[in-house]
Amino acid sequence: MKVNKSYNYYYCLIPTKIFDRLNFFNTPYFDYIFNYYSSFPIYIEQGICDILPNKSGILFTQQVLQQFDPYQIMNDFTSCFVFNLPTEICNKEQSRYRKNFTFDFDIIELNKEIPMDLILQYEESPWKPILEIDADFFYLRNDNEVLLGSKDYKQLENWLIEVKK
């Protein structure tokens, strides 16, 4: 598994079958926004998470995620964008929650390295929605593989060590 870089994200592809070895939700003080479903998995009761006002995603806080099996969550939700600081601290106008989150990505299209010096020419790139969301880290899953992305190279490197065990 090789670490690549596109714009300001480091990313790698891992097979779906080893994704469940990863402890993706282990850091406190993060907001997790998952792809929106019109019906929740049966283990999620109404009121435990927040549907974003424009229904483009579902917000889970770290405290809520700790109540569930992380592997079940990763299997039930195909995309997750994670923000380092809760909105109350760094985004008082709550523009993060009003964004239209896009969750339909073609992982194969994203698997191309794009140098940082082309950041101003991102309009035609498949990375455009991810750059506009500006999450600290994320995963995108399809049936065969998972694209893990992070602004922090060391975090991605640690994930790779974890899944290789």
Residue-wise pLDDT for 92-103, tens only, equals 566 666 676 777
Question: Both tokens of residue 104?
Answer: 């339909």
pLDDT for 104 equals 79
Which class for 106: exposed (0-12), middle (13-18), buried (19 or more C-beta within 10 A)? exposed
Tens of pLDDT, residues 66-85: 888 888 888 888 899 998 86
Q: Is the dihedral of CA 59, 62, 65, 71 positive or negative?
A: positive
Tell me the pLDDT band of 61, cut-offs 50, 70 and 90: confident
Angstrom distance (rounded) from CA 45 to CA 58: 13
Provide the residue type at 77 as one letter: F
Angstrom distance (rounded) from CA 126 to CA 142: 16
pLDDT for 98 equals 66
Residue 90 has pLDDT above 60, yes or no: no
State the first-to-last Cα distance of the chain, in angstroms, to the nearest integer. Answer: 13
The runs of H, that is alpha helices, within 7-94 are 16-19, 62-65, 70-76, 87-90
Summary count for the chain: helices (H), strands (E): 8, 8
Residue 164 has pLDDT above 90, yes or no: no
pLDDT for 93 equals 61
Secondary structure of residue 129 in the 3-state scheme = helix
Tens of pLDDT, residues 116-141: 777 778 888 888 889 888 899 999 99
Q: Indicate the domain borders of the chain.
A: 4-164
Contact 34, 79 (CB under 8 A): yes
pLDDT for 119 equals 73
Provide the residue type at 50 as one letter: D
Residue 37 has pLDDT above 80, yes or no: no
To the nearest whole number, what is the mean pLDDT of the chain?
83
